[in-house]
Amino acid sequence: MDEPTIGKDTGQTQPGQTLQADKAKASAQAAATSAVPKTYTEEEIKKQVSDALAKQGREIKSLTKERDSVFSERDTLKTRLSELESKIDEMELNQVKGDPDLEKAYKDKRSIQKALREAEEAKRKADAEIAEARAKLEEEKGQHAEKLKRADELDQKILVFEIAKKRGVDLQILEDKVIKYGLQAEEAIDDLAQTLSTGKTVSKPDSGVTSGGKIDFSQMTPRQKIEEGLLQQSKKK
């Protein structure tokens, strides 16, 4: 009589195990595939660009059509409003006809109302034009300021170049030092270049040190300030 096989390893793969193994293999393959970056051919890139431009063109066309429709509706409403106001004026005028004083008062009132509406409309247009002019002026000021800044930076670069050439020092080193110390004046930059060109060890000026051991830069010349800065920097190394 054969023994039961429950709990024994028969050496055969069970259906559930096969399914799990297949799922694990498929998951690993999917992960490996997703890890590989997708590359695009030149034709695919051109098509993507073309599709994006076509979509943008359709959106612009749709928005333009909507804008024109709004303008058309606005013009229609303005015309209708003008017609209604004219009809109301005519009806109200008929009510006061026959009484010269009432008729005159009514016409004066309508003239004043018309003048006020025109003044309000003119003010709205003027305010819009002023706002537009101010925005344009601010933009031009910003552009002008940027141009001046670039011109100043260029002038300083030229100045540093000329001083570096005159003093025979490395241009890049001098530029770095000028930026680090925030130097602007030609005299200060020239003093720095001279200090770099001599290669001497800078000494701490006696007049620049207080009794408490702190450096008082307010009593130093631009060149002394530079030398002291270089000295402090060398101590930190």
What per-residue confidence (pLDDT) applies to 17? 59
Instruction: Identify which of 1-10, 64-73, 205-214 has the greatest average pLDDT.
Output: 64-73
121, 135 contact by CB (below 8 A) = no
Asked whether the beta carbons of 174 and 193 are under 8 A apart, the reply is yes
Mean pLDDT confidence for 87-116: 82
The model's pLDDT over 44-86, given as tens digits with 9 standing for 90+, comes to 888 888 888 888 888 888 888 888 888 888 888 888 887 888 8
* 209 beta partners: 215
More confident residue, 231 or 125: 125
pLDDT of residue 212: 47
Please give the model's pTM, rounded to 2 decimal places. Answer: 0.33
Give the tens place of pLDDT for each residue, 136-191: 888 888 888 888 888 888 888 898 899 888 888 888 888 888 888 888 888 888 88
| pLDDT surpassing 70 at residue 22 | no
Q: What is the largest CA-CA distance in the chain?
A: 133
Say what the pLDDT of residue 73 is: 86
Give the relative orientation of helices 42-96 and 100-167 as an angle to the nearest 10 degrees: 150
pLDDT tens digits, residue range 127-151? 988 888 888 888 888 888 888 888 8
